[in-house]
């Protein structure tokens, strides 16, 4: 159950012949993950018993404490809250906590899209996001997220095209990473050659680790189907986003999957290895 606590700015209500002005609060907070279909605003702090009653009672009767009772029905209109026009798209902008420099995550995102994954978040940054509804004539006031701390203790490979991903946490071998900056050597009639630095600058990797992961002390995720899924993932030709434990992030292609099954443990763990080539910026 997620609770909404809210108050309106400068609102007032009339009970009998007495008019009361409410405190100038303008904050609405959602605690927990939930789909909220109703918003109730009152002019006092509810008791725990009243909060409990909200979770079981679907009906609500206006009384002298009620400022707003709005029901949402698949749009942003609710009670006296009315959006005068249709939302055509969304803009999503990211900020590093403490900075006012915006980073565009999605511009002109289709209005039907309800979720989006930020593949470019980098450890150990702390981010917050602003979502701007776009109409034909205006940009409506933004919705701001809570801060999000990026923290991960595994290697991740994500396919933006299919949405598929693989994570590796166990028995990671030292990852061979080479920074390539090819040169051309010119030999003439002098004692020493001349060398020209090219514009190519990219990383190549060799990654090795267990196919499965240990969850609550149990080795899982290492079946024939899991290996075949990884094999398809590595060879599908799509570019991947690669993140390492250090916090680096790369756009890579993957190839040359090899495996080695350890026959001694009963789980028959599979070590896998494949190559990656950096092909662009993230």
Model confidence pLDDT, tens digit, residues 63-120 = 777 777 777 766 667 766 666 677 889 999 999 998 889 999 989 988 888 888 888 8
Model confidence pLDDT, tens digit, residues 175-204 = 889 999 988 988 988 899 988 988 889 999
Q: Are residues 132 and 169 in the same domain?
A: no
Q: Are residues 131 and 170 in the same domain?
A: no
141: nearest Cα among 28, 248, 276: 28
Query: What per-residue confidence (pLDDT) applies to 158?
Result: 92
Q: Are residues 189 and 144 in the same domain?
A: no
Query: What per-residue confidence (pLDDT) applies to 224?
Result: 95
Domain that holds residue 265: 155-280
Q: Is 235 a domain residue? A: yes
Model confidence pLDDT, tens digit, residues 3-19 = 344 433 333 333 333 33
Q: Please tell me whether residue 234 adopts helix, strand or coil conformation.
A: helix
Domain edge (last residue) among 103, 130, 149? 149
Q: Are residues 142 and 162 in the same domain?
A: no
Residue 157 binned pLDDT confidence (cut-offs 50, 70, 90):
very high
Residue 28 binned pLDDT confidence (cut-offs 50, 70, 90):
low
Q: Is 198 a domain residue? A: yes
Cα–chain-centroid distance for residue 179? 29
pTM: 0.59
Bridge partners, residue 116, by sequence: none
50 membership: H or E segment, kind and range:
helix 48-56
Residue 58 binned pLDDT confidence (cut-offs 50, 70, 90):
low
Q: Is 179 a domain residue? A: yes
Domain edge (last residue) among 127, 149, 171? 149
Average pLDDT, the chain: 81
The Cα 23–Cα 42 span in angstroms is 11
92: nearest Cα among 129, 66, 62, 60: 129
Given a cut of 90, whether residue 260 has pLDDT beyond it is: yes
Q: How large a percentage of the chain has pLDDT more than 70? A: 82
Q: Is 83 a domain residue? A: no
The Cα 236–Cα 161 span in angstroms is 10
Half-sphere exposure of 8 (CA within 13 A, CB side): 18
- Mean predicted confidence (pLDDT) in 46-59: 73
Structural domain count, the chain? 3
Query: What per-residue confidence (pLDDT) applies to 66?
Result: 77
Terminal Cα distance for the chain, rounded: 38
Q: Are residues 42 and 112 in the same domain?
A: no
Query: What per-residue confidence (pLDDT) applies to 143?
Result: 83
Residue 25 binned pLDDT confidence (cut-offs 50, 70, 90):
low
Query: What per-residue confidence (pLDDT) applies to 75?
Result: 65
Q: Are residues 65 and 96 in the same domain?
A: no
Query: What per-residue confidence (pLDDT) applies to 133?
Result: 87
| Range of lowest pLDDT (42-51, 221-230, 262-271) | 42-51
Q: Are residues 63 and 105 in the same domain?
A: no
Q: Is 81 a domain residue? A: no
Given a cut of 70, whether residue 210 has pLDDT beyond it is: yes
Q: Are residues 67 and 184 in the same domain?
A: no
Q: Are residues 138 and 196 in the same domain?
A: no
Q: Are residues 176 and 242 in the same domain?
A: yes
Q: Is 224 a domain residue? A: yes
Cα–Cα–Cα angle for 71, 128, 25, rounded to 5 degrees: 45
Given a cut of 70, whether residue 280 has pLDDT beyond it is: yes
Q: Are residues 132 and 175 in the same domain?
A: no
**Domain with 109 in it: what CATH number?**
2.60.40.10
Q: Are residues 177 and 224 in the same domain?
A: yes
The Cα 90–Cα 73 span in angstroms is 20
Domain edge (last residue) among 122, 149, 176? 149
Cα–chain-centroid distance for residue 204? 26
- Mean predicted confidence (pLDDT) in 207-214: 92
Q: How far is CA 100 from CA 95, 103, 125, 130, in A?
A: 7, 10, 14, 12
Q: Is 172 a domain residue? A: yes
Q: Is 233 a domain residue? A: yes
Do 67 and 42 contact (CB within 8 A), yes or no? yes
**Domain with 233 in it: what CATH number?**
2.40.30.200
122: nearest Cα among 142, 100, 150: 150
The encoded tokens of residue 7 equal 């108050």
Q: Please tell me whether residue 20 adopts helix, strand or coil conformation.
A: strand
């Amino acid at each position: 159950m997620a609770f909404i606590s809210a108050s309106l700015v400068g609102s007032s209500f009339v009970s009998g012949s007495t008019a009361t002005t409410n405190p100038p609060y303008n904050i609405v907070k959602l605690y927990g993950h939930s789909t909220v279909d109703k918003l109730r605003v009152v002019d006092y702090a509810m008791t725990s018993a009243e909060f409990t009653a909200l979770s079981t009672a679907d009906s609500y009767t206006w009384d002298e404490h009620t400022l707003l009772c709005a029901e949402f029905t698949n749009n942003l209109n609710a009670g006296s809250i009315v959006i005068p026009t249709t939302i055509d798209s969304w803009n999503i902008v990211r900020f590093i906590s403490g900075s006012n420099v915006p980073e565009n995550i999605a511009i002109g995102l289709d209005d039907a899209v309800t979720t989006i994954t930020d593949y470019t978040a980098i450890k150990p940054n702390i981010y917050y996001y602003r979502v701007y509804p776009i109409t034909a004539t205006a940009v409506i006031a933004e919705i701001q997220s809570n801060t999000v701390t990026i923290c991960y203790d595994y290697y991740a490979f994500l396919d933006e095209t299919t949405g598929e991903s693989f994570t590796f946490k166990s028995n990671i071998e030292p990852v061979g990473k080479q920074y390539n900056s090819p040169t051309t050597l010119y030999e003439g009639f002098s004692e020493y050659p001349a060398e020209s630095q090219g514009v190519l600058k990219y990383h190549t990797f060799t990654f090795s680790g267990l196919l499965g992961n240990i969850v609550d002390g149990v080795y899982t995720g290492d079946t024939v189907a899991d290996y075949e899924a990884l094999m398809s993932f590595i060879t599908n030709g799509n570019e991947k986003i690669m993140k390492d434990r250090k916090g680096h992030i790369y756009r890579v292609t993957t190839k040359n999957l090899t495996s080695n099954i350890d026959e001694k443990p009963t789980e028959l763990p599979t070590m896998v290895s494949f190559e990656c080539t950096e092909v662009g910026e993230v």
